[in-house]
Amino acid sequence: MDGAALQAFQKELSCAVCRNTFLDPVTIDCGHSFCRPCLCLSWEERQTPPGTCPACREPTKHYWELSAKGSSTWAVGVCRDSAVGRDLPMDESQDLFLLLAVKSNTYDSLFTTSPLVSHYMEMPLDLVGVFLDLDSGTVSFWNVAKSSLIWRYPNGSLQFPVRPVFHRGNLLQ
């Protein structure tokens, strides 16, 4: 292999952020590839908004935000496509991947489902980002104001078609 071909091949295997050979590579919708840690750090450190390509600044197709401002109780995430319209217990369902904020008389709580896990962070959250990666089968939630990751489900968590879920107000009605 000649020098030019070798350089072109090495460039194809290099992260656009760190310029090293890929570590846990991910290709986003615009076609650019990155090390997964580099992409997450780029979003966490506000180098680019969550869900935006660090190379071309194009938004990905699978990112949306929920304005939770003025609402103390809300839910956002995804559910199994076939689960739409069914009553699903949040603590038992493997079909719901949600971030939930619940206000009681004395304190605010933040939870994720599948399984139900309590999270501790500053409340209230005004704008929550959701990043859906169908290639990896995962969904992650972002504190948009701080460009920080709240929670990321493990790779392979979503192995079925999903729909977005948005809800503001009382979750038990």
pLDDT, tens only, 10-57:
777 889 889 898 888 888 778 888 888 888 788 777 666 666 788 888
Average pLDDT over residues 93-120: 82
Cβ count within 10 A of residue 110: 21
pLDDT one-digit tens code per residue, 69-87: 877 788 899 988 665 554 5
pLDDT exceeds cutoff 80 at 153:
yes
The reported pLDDT for the residue numbered 106 is 67
> What percentage of the chain has pLDDT greater than the value 70?
80
Average pLDDT, whole number, for the chain?
79
CA 159, 54, 12, 38 torsion-angle sign: negative
What does pTM read for this prediction? Answer: 0.62
Phi, psi (rounded to 5 degrees) for 65? -130, 150
The reported pLDDT for the residue numbered 173 is 47
Q: Are 71 and 168 in contact (CB under 8 A)?
A: yes
Task: Supply angle C-alpha 14, 16, 17, rounded to 5.
Answer: 115
The reported pLDDT for the residue numbered 31 is 82
d(CA 30, CA 67): 26
pLDDT greater at residue 64 or residue 135: 64
Beta-carbon contacts of 141 under 8 Å, excluding residues fewer than 6 positions away, are: 76, 77, 99, 112, 128, 129, 130, 131, 149, 150, 151, 152
The reported pLDDT for the residue numbered 91 is 45
Confidence of residue 88 (pLDDT cuts 50, 70, 90): very low
